[in-house]
Structure 1
Amino acid sequence: MTLVAAADGSALGNPGPAGWAWYVDDDRWASGGWPHGTNNMGELTAVLDLLQQTADLDDDLVVYCDSTYAINAITKWMAGWKRKGWKKGDGKPVANVEIMKALDAAMRPNVTFRWVKGHAGHELNEKADELANAAARAHQAGSSPAAGPGFSSRRSSHDFSVTAPPEPDPDLFSLVDELSDEDQVVALERSLLTDEVRSDPAAVAALLDAAWSEVGRSGRVWTRSEILGEIGPLTSPVELDVLGVDRVAEGVLLLRWRGTSAAGEGTLRSSLWVRSGGRWLQRFHQGTPEG
């Protein structure tokens, strides 16, 4: 037998009132959260609670997540972090380390993760998202979220707290500070084309200036809040070919590049990056179809 579930997290403000939830069907689901947490905490804790509550089942477990951060952290990065004493490649502590340690203890060989695009009509994902958001809003209102029927009476409070501010995927930029300014900007621009970043609004937000805007390939003008609400993995990979990086002023770089889709469609793009608080942030982006 195979048990299929979805796990999701939500944060209002990130960090802010936060929730987590997993859902199998109307008789088997659970949710919880914190008055102050992050989206990534919610994503990870939803998986953790599902693993803990199904620990005594013999069924194979398939878990749908819309966060590649959660999937990669558990299936790709966790073993290396553990070998390094729960440190990242740059030697810094792993964010949400207590949750990661609990996940390491709870994981088992018959668990498989599958990525699903959020807010795209996947029934289980939509239910998990709805429950996680409801949990976050309950904490925002000062009340306790519905715990759900779950699978067992052995419930944990999952009383985790924010141990680090929201950041891009943990190992993605561990060496970026060793690069030149120009190479840093190119690396960060490339990261905005990856599923790992585009699947995590918090990771995208960490790369965009507060006053960010874009004139898209279609001519549409996007605001920061609009793009964070709609961004997701690309439908097909895009190859980035650097045309030039110009230093417009101190702490301001203009990156010009060509994006080529798998179908060979080309777009000329320019991105204005500004250095703020010791970090490079994208301030403006524009795309023009190549003639």
Structure 2
Amino acid sequence: MKKKIKIFTDGSCLGNPGPGGYGILIFGDGLYKEISNGYYFTTNNRMELLAAIIALESLEDIYNITLNTDSNYLRYGITKWIQFWKQNDWKTKRNKPVKNIDLWKQLDSLIKKHLVHWNWIKGHTNYTEHDRCDLLARLAAENPSTVDIKYRKC
């Protein structure tokens, strides 16, 4: 049986595009991590995706995960839209290239290792763990240190 943990993630962007950051909180089964990083120029959606990716990459063991996000883009993208995109050679219903394809492919690969339950929570509603992620993401966006080399303004 896989160990159970909870992950909370959030992305932030000061302008969209603009400086951005992500915040992550992971806990359960004796594990506690806070992770954040800021980028000089990116988008909010990239930060939401990257938060989930970094969270999953940081895990050494295999887990049963409840991943909490306030991003419907992330939640619907990974639970609904991605199957169509993959079958349609990473094109949308309008036959346009999927945005953030580099991150979607990375996330798709990472979730195969774990059992992930995607849980949407409403942002900015005094949810302690999510508020912590929001703060980490905003502070990271205000103090960027990394270049999002894959970001291309669309």
Of 63, 68, 71, 2:67 maps to: 63
Question: Would you say 1:21 and 2:23 are equivalent positions?
Answer: yes
C-alpha distance in structure 2 between counterparts of 1:94 and 1:160, whole Å: 18
Question: Would you say 1:43 and 2:45 are equivalent positions?
Answer: no
Indicate the residue corresponding to 1:129 in structure 2. Answer: 134
Q: 1:113-152 alignment to 2 at 5 Å?
A: 113-139=118-144, 144=145
Structure 1: give runs of 5+ residues left out of the alignment. Answer: 145-156, 166-291
C-alpha distance in structure 1 between counterparts of 2:149 and 2:76, whole Å: 21
The structure where helix makes up a greater share of residues is 2
Indicate the residue corresponding to 2:150 in structure 1. Answer: 161
Q: SS in structure 2 opposite 1:134?
A: helix
Q: 1:222-233 alignment to 2 at 5 Å?
A: none
> What is the deviation of 1:121?
1.0
* CA pair 67-51 structure 1, distance change in 2 beyond 3 A: same
Higher relative contact order (CA 8 A, sep 6+): 2
Q: 1:83-232 alignment to 2 at 5 Å?
A: 83-108=87-112, 110-139=115-144, 144=145, 159-165=148-154
* TM-score relative to the length of structure 1: 0.48
Question: Would you say 1:76 and 2:76 are equivalent positions?
Answer: no
> What is the deviation of 1:159?
4.0
* CA pair 33-9 structure 1, distance change in 2 beyond 3 A: same
> What is the deviation of 1:27?
4.2
Read off the aligned partner of 1:114 and give its amino acid letter. N
Bigger CA radius of gyration: 1
Is the CA contact (8 Å cut-off) linking 2:9 and 2:51 kept in structure 1? yes
Structure 2: give runs of 5+ residues left out of the alignment. Answer: none
C-alpha distance in structure 2 between counterparts of 1:164 and 1:89, whole Å: 21
Say how many residue pairs are matched: 148
* TM-score relative to the length of structure 2: 0.88
Is the CA contact (8 Å cut-off) linking 1:9 and 1:132 kept in structure 2? yes
> What is the deviation of 1:89?
0.8
Q: Aligned Cα RMSD in Å?
A: 1.9
